[in-house]
Structure 1
């Protein structure tokens, strides 16, 4: 007769995962998928600032790629305000849809 503690007996085959342990495991997996912010060179920063300024001056639509630790977000709109002290821009995407974006978080911009 096989022991209940070995050879896939009753105790070994009835393992449970507590909800707290499952949540902790999923949180740990989420942290491992987190990425670091890419380092941009001076030329890329200059191109980003140029595209932002051109959108502000000429009311042209600009496409911005905003960094996020898990998945980058791509936003299209017109820059209507540039706040130099806090280094933020106001991007209007529709009639009542706008967002404030920190310039440091922008990793790509194109007109």
Structure 2
């Protein structure tokens, strides 16, 4: 109790933060962790497209790394549909689990 009355102790012990300010602060800290998308050269992009086509034609399992501003996603599955006009692929991980992925978001592919 004695410390609270010495110097600036009364003010220091009564600090509080509103939940709205806390959430805004945490959101700002998260935004500072955001990364930029890596730029792929033409050879890397061709390699990724060739692997996607091979998976589509031969139903082989591939591993894709999909860009995310905070943490990249590594997915393993088979390409079942290639939507050329929209530049998307349907990527099936299991019988019930699939997702549509933009081809531009893929930063790495391997068999």
What TM-score results when the alignment is normalised by the length of structure 2? 0.91
**Offset, 1:69:** 0.7
Matched length: 108
Long gaps (5+) in structure 2: none
Q: Report runs of 4+ in structure 1 exceeding 2 Å deviation.
A: none
More helix by share: 2
CA RMSD, Structure 1 to Structure 2 (Å): 1.6
- Name the residue aligned to 1:90: 90
SS of the residue aligned with 2:94? Answer: coil
CA distance in 2, matches of 1:103, 1:76: 15
- Name the residue aligned to 2:63: 63
Q: What whole-Å deviation, never above 9, does each CA across 1:10-43 have from its counterpart, x for those lacking one? A: 1233211111111110010010011110000111
State yes or no: 1:44 paired with 2:40.
Answer: no
CA distance in 2, matches of 1:42, 1:81: 23
CA distance in 2, matches of 1:5, 1:86: 67
Q: What whole-Å deviation, never above 9, does each CA across 1:52-71 have from its counterpart, x for those lacking one? A: 00101111001000001111
CA contact (8 A) 1:65 1:75 kept: yes
Pairing of 1:68-83 with structure 2 (within 5 A):
68-83=68-83
CA distance in 2, matches of 1:65, 1:9: 52
